[in-house]
Amino acid sequence: METKTCSKCRITKPLSEFQSDSTKRDGHHNMCKACKNAIRRDYARTKEGMLKTIYKDQHYSSKKRGHQPPKYTLQEFIAWALPQKELDILYKQWVESGYYHRLRPTFDRADDSKGYSFGNFNKWMTRYDNGLKGVRDHANDPKAHPIKPVIGVNLKTHIQMWFPSLTLAAKTLHINKGNLWLALNNSNRTAGGFKWEYANKKELVAQ
C-alpha cells in the first residue's frame, strides 16, 4: 500500500487519505484530508469565516429564489458587517452554543420579495429565528456540539429529568433544540414545559 506522511499531523497514512493534486510529484496534497477539513472548519468558525459562509448562502439563496445576486463583494460585505454590535452579540451566542447550526447569525431582509442589498437589511437574526432550513447543515458534524449533560425540571410536577445531552433531551421530549438551548442559557426561559440547566452547574437532587 502506498503511504504518505502528512505535513501537518506527521501521521503516515494511505494515499487515499490525501486529496489528489496534479501539481505534486506523487499526485497528492502534502496535508491529509482530516487536517485540511480541520483547517476549513476552524476558519468557518471565525467571524470572517462565518461571514463568508453567510455570503455564499446569500448567493445560493438568491439563485434559488430567482433574485439578483448581491452586488457587493465578499470584502465589502465583511467590511460592512464586522463593526456591527448586534452581529457580535449573535456571533458570541453561536460560539457559546458550540456552533449550533440553528443559532448561526443570518442577514434578515426588510423586504423578502427583494434580494440581498445593504439597503434591504432589516437586522441580524439567528437561522432559527429566520426560519431557515439548513442550506449548509452542520448537524451531522459530531464535533460541532460539545456534549454536556442537562437537567430539566418539569414546571408542573417539579420532577427532575437528567439527559446525557441537549440533543437527546430534545429528541426524547420532542422539544426544538434551539428553544432548549436558549432555555439552558437564559434562566428566564423555559422549553417544553421544563426549566433547563447544565447538569454540571447543580447536583441532581434525589427524588
Q: Site for Zn ion (CB under 5 A): how many residues?
A: 5
Among 3, 5, 8, 141, binds Zn ion (CB under 5 A): 8
Do the strands 150-154 and 3-5 form a parallel or antiparallel pair, or are they unpaired? Answer: unpaired
* Residue 77 DSSP SS3: helix
CA separation for the pair 115, 118 (Å, rounded):
10
Among 18, 35, 99, 151, binds Zn ion (CB under 5 A): 35
Rule CB under 5 A: say whether 28 interacts with Zn ion: no
Among 4, 28, 32, 116, binds Zn ion (CB under 5 A): 32
Q: How far is the CB of 197 from Zn ion (least distance, A)?
A: 38
First to last CA, the chain: 58
129, amino acid identity: D
Which range of residues in 1-9, 50-58, 87-95, 120-128 is near Zn ion by CB under 5 A?
1-9
Rule CB under 5 A: say whether 170 interacts with Zn ion: no
Read off φ and ψ for residue 112, nearest 5 degrees.
-70, -15
Among 3, 5, 9, 176, binds Zn ion (CB under 5 A): 9
Rule CB under 5 A: say whether 40 interacts with Zn ion: no
Residue 196 contacts residue 177 (beta carbons within 8 Å): no
CA separation for the pair 202, 139 (Å, rounded):
28
Task: Closer to Zn ion by CB, 11 or 147: give it.
Answer: 11
List contacts with Zn ion (CB under 5 A).
6, 8-9, 32, 35
